[in-house]
Structure 1
């Protein structure tokens, strides 16, 4: 459709193209009939209406307005578009035309310095020509050679700091051999551009697909799909089309992949993974008997809490760091401090859609467990806390019912025997005002480390870690599915069962086979990155869950807790003999770790 200046006024009409581009035997009436059947005449009328408008908005936005097409994009996802610097924007290609107009209209508002790598035939539209880098998507003997020029143009554009938009499939999504309607294999051009430009990549996903006629035509011949593309553009009139934008992928991560296929698989995962973001979240706070959460109880006087801390034996002051200290105590030693822990638990857990709904969050286990609390001397306030259960003592006095985790999971006797030298950890929190910093959690874990040094016969840490209902349903589904498949202790998990199992089926990410996605989803960081794409605040997997996994933690089971904000509790187990030395030294100190290790080695030798 590229021709003389006269042609440019009618880019969609075959009958006005140069004779040399049309077989001589096709007469004008036949061409006009073809224009009508293919929807080209309607496209031309649309083009004429858009061209006649004298406005300052972009051609793409005018075209969308004329078609009455709107796009739906959240503010937090639009904010992920970098406003400057080189960047490659990649997107799936479900429709064939409208998604390109949407991206051009969007980017025209955010950063006008963009170009789209697109079918050379689109350069027949003069208003778009300056924004296009033309490629030949049809293959053939000369395509590989002629496409070297646009590749060089793209690299030069990125080196100048511009944004490059690519639809890596090079053709519209269609029904594949698997039965899925998705992009075909992505071009190897994308990995080459990423590696040579070292530009970050921004993934974009458009939900949706063309209809049955388009898919049926493609089964007869791929070119029939191409002939239907004008209709596929026009039939989007009057619709609102959503799009999803993921987090920017740094080039350092991308150029580390060994092969182009691995890089394409990863980019495809991060693009199609955005389809999971279509789910909504539902915040739930567990209700009291009156169907409304009770008011949070009043705090105890700060002086009372200070006095209780000061009265604790020196050996129970575990960590000191500036204005902060970590102490251990029992309910009998510091009832006021325990009351404040219960109050702040409820405040903190309600803030993320959990909580008991009562005025204070305390239970019968608080009377028999040890408590670690982080105290701010300067502010005179409690910052956070952990609850520790000595499994050997609790089983000896109360049996399995003495463990908090027994309210969530059923344990076989063989498992309890294995956990005899374990500490059950749980009910941890950092009050909201301190959650922006990692330091409070680090100090609490140093407290746990010193507690282990003082009680070195404990080898295992285990306990429930919550996945709150504040995450979207698909984020929770993704976490449970991948952690079950790749982070489960198979030889132990058969010895424990949830009281209320989490209904979950294997999660299939559209556009990827299991062979393509599995190697990527075995990485905790990749799971977290996918979750961050789905969440409005870009948070990944819960900090505490991530922390346990970094210690070498494994999952035993998942339980749904409707009495605590419908959280999902993952039962985690950490074998400290398998945790990296540097990790434990960070929490125990070098000498403390050496002392702890000596006791553990002695116990192992004695059991051999």
Structure 2
């Protein structure tokens, strides 16, 4: 386990927080959303890597390296970094990394070069009909200092602020239809509570088309007959009350991000769970959110609020270029490139 790097100099960080990278002001706490890459903001990337590693190690995950920065952060077409900046305290509150499906490259076997590719198999239907219109999200974190009430309103609205950023992405590129990513449970989490949560997710958010499947599914000791007897609610809300009560009875809570995603849309898809042996053996479950199916109150708060701020077409176009969103024509080219890769591999 390597020693985590020291904080990056504040002046270096602020020098890279340029107006061109600022996306919006948050609805709550007046924080600021920025989008950048390791290529144009190396100091910001280094600080994000430091904060991510601190946050993930705290719960038993992380890379074990001096900073959580991997090949997906620094490759030729890198994942973009979305952060919430607290201008009052001059701190990064939290962040995501993301990539538009239209930017995704394919390896020689025709497999998408996604951060989730070592955990998940992607069907041709997903590659053809979903990926070109999808944003893959990952490495969601909130800095430890903002995970408590010590920062007052700033900390309370950390996740809400992050979702303001995600909402803006859907306005910047209206072609985007889906958010795809993972939710994490750490090895320290209660196994019976974990089993109940995974059963609940599979019951209420099944992937009937098998769009995405785990390469090596997590093995559990789940007693499915007992689960069926336990979750006998007539609908999601009744089963959710049972789940929440049972998990709390064990002295635990449903992980906040899982809880939040379940409340975002009734049509979320759950893709099963794998152990990520590259990240502290955490257990990660794939999910898909259809943006048009996000509940109205969440849409109003995170998406429509940005539209009401009336960002100019010129500003949105500038942001679109910064995050390398491709046109619909180029998205079709991306699929042809995937097929060419497969053809080359087969001819070897």
Same fold (TM over 0.5): yes
Q: 1:460 to 1:594 in 2, by over 3 A?
A: farther
Q: Give the number of the structure whose alpha-carbon radius of gyration is greater.
A: 1
Instruction: Name the residue aligned to 2:162.
Output: 444
Query: Residue 312 of structure 1 contacts residue 333 of structure 1 at CA under 8 Å; is this kept in 2?
Result: no
Which residue of the partner structure matches residue 468 of structure 1? 186
Give the drift of 1:586. 0.6
- Aligned partners of 1:388 and 1:425 also within 8 Å: yes
Quick one: distance in 1 between partners of 2:61 and 2:203?
26
SS state at 1:313 partner: helix
Q: How far, CA to CA, are the matches of 2:65 and 2:248 in structure 1? A: 31
2:87 corresponds to 1:411: no
Report the equivalent of 2:82. Answer: 372
In the alignment, which residue of structure 1 is the partner of 2:49? 342
- TM-superposed CA distance for 1:547, in Å, is 1.4
**Structure 1 residue aligned with 2:14:** 306
Alpha-carbon deviation of 1:294?
1.1
Q: Distance in 2 between matches of 1:427 and 1:516?
A: 33
CA contact (8 A) 2:167 2:306 kept: no
What is the count of residue pairs matched by the alignment?
A: 296
Distance in 2 (CA, whole Å) between partners of 1:526 and 1:307 is 50
Partner of 1:387: 97
The answer as to whether partners of 1:481 and 1:505 remain within 8 angstroms in 2 is no
Report the secondary structure of 1:488's partner residue: coil
Equivalent-residue separation in structure 2 for 1:564 and 1:403 (angstroms): 15
Structure 1 unaligned regions, length at least 5: 1-292, 596-602, 604-608
Match of 2:39 among 324, 332, 344: 332
Pairing 1:576–2:300 present: no
Equivalent residues of 2:29, 2:157 under 8 A apart: no
1:378 partner SS: coil
SS of equivalent residue, structure 1 residue 358 = coil
1:530 aligns with 2:261: no
- Residue 428 of structure 1: aligned partner: 140
Q: Is the 8 A contact 1:384 1:431 kept in 2?
A: yes
Whose relative contact order is higher, 1 or 2, with alpha carbons under 8 Å and at least 6 apart? 2
SS in 2 for 1:404: coil
User: Which residue matches 2:5?
Assistant: 297
Distance 2:54 2:250 in 1: 26
Deviation readout 1:181-223 (Å, 9 max, x if unpaired): xxxxxxxxxxxxxxxxxxxxxxxxxxxxxxxxxxxxxxxxxxx
Q: Which runs of 4+ in 1 moved over 3 A?
A: 320-323, 395-401, 513-517
For 2:215 and 2:169, the matched residues in 1 are separated by 31
Q: 1:397 to 1:411 in 2, by over 3 A?
A: closer
CA contact (8 A) 2:206 2:271 kept: yes
Partner of residue 549 from structure 1, selected from 249, 262, 269: 262
Deviation at 1:383, TM superposition (A): 1.3
CA contact (8 A) 1:385 1:430 kept: yes
What is the distance in 1 between the residues matched to 2:143 and 2:308? 29
> Aligned-pair distance for 1:509?
7.8
- Displacement of 1:396 after TM fit? 7.0
RMSD: 2.7
Aligned to 2:316: none
Q: Please give the residue correspondences for 1:44-59 in structure 2 after superposition, counting only pairs within 5 Å.
A: none
> Counterparts in 2 of 1:590-601, with a 5 A limit?
590=305, 592=307
Question: Do the aligned residues in 2 keep the contact of 1:453 with 1:593 (CA within 8 Å)?
Answer: no
Tell me how far 1:521 sits from its aligned partner: 8.6
Tell me the alpha carbon deviations over residues 329-379 of structure 1, each in whole angstroms, 9 at most, x when there is no partner.
122221100111111111001111111111111111113111111111122
Q: Which of residues 507, 513, 518 is equivalent to 2:232? A: 518
The structural deviation recorded for 1:559 is 1.0
Cα pair distance change 1:525/1:584, threshold 3 Å: farther
Q: Deviations over 1:489-514 (max 9, x none)?
A: 212xx23221221013543586xx83
After TM superposition, list the pairs within 5 Å mapping 1:186-265 onto structure 2.
Answer: none
Change (3 A) 1:508 1:415: closer
Correspondence list, 1:70-109, <5 A: none
Quick one: distance in 1 between partners of 2:136 and 2:306?
25
* Structure 1 equivalent of residue 25 of structure 2: 319
Distance 2:245 2:165 in 1: 30
TM-score, normalized by length of structure 2? 0.78
Q: CA deviation at 1:418?
A: 2.1
Cα displacement (A) at 1:564: 1.7
- CA distance in 2 between counterparts of 1:307 and 1:462 reads 32
- Judge conservation of contact 2:231–2:242 (CA < 8 Å) in 1: no
1:520–1:526 contact (8 Å) kept in structure 2: no
Q: Say whether the 8 Å CA contact 2:4–2:65 is kept in structure 1.
A: yes
Change over 3 Å in CA distance of 1:372–1:507 after alignment to 2? same
The alignment partner of 1:414 has SS state of: helix
Query: Would you say 1:361 and 2:77 are equivalent positions?
Result: no
Q: Distance in 2 between matches of 1:532 and 1:593?
A: 39
1:482 aligns with 2:200: yes
